[in-house]
Structure 1
């Protein structure tokens, strides 16, 4: 999923089986704010990024440190091909292996 892809947040939330409070609180958004986003209000880019990380990529943001983010940003800018390769490998490692 690319950063500019439109996300149907209501559909994502429903697929995860979460109510609005559970879903939005994981990224620091109030239930009422999340309700507005689900009703069509524009979602700010930082909130979109958190949405993707937490609910699409399944990243536990409690475990992410500032140094990790700075390193990822540096790598993305300085060596985009290596960044893409590492990102693919990380995604593959997170997927459950078929028996």
Structure 2
């Protein structure tokens, strides 16, 4: 009878271990997916920010070419005056 109890405990323990292993595997998979999603989201945000920055610079170039003062261009584009002056030097050279 002791052997039967030991076999039963061993069998139930094995099932418990397998169940725990499956749960850990699924949890790990979910954590990896969550991490991948966060990385993708950050990449998209960074790309959007770069696009916005590029558009601001292009707008600044157009305004400067139209003869608008660097101070007004800085205000309109929300770029620092220093950057506007650099852009102005670029388009004048």
Q: What TM-score, normalized by structure 2, do the two folds share?
A: 0.27
Q: Rg bigger for which structure?
A: 2
Greater relative contact order: 1 or 2 (C-alpha under 8 angstroms, separation 6 or more)? Answer: 2
More helix by share: 2
Q: What TM-score, normalized by structure 1, do the two folds share?
A: 0.25
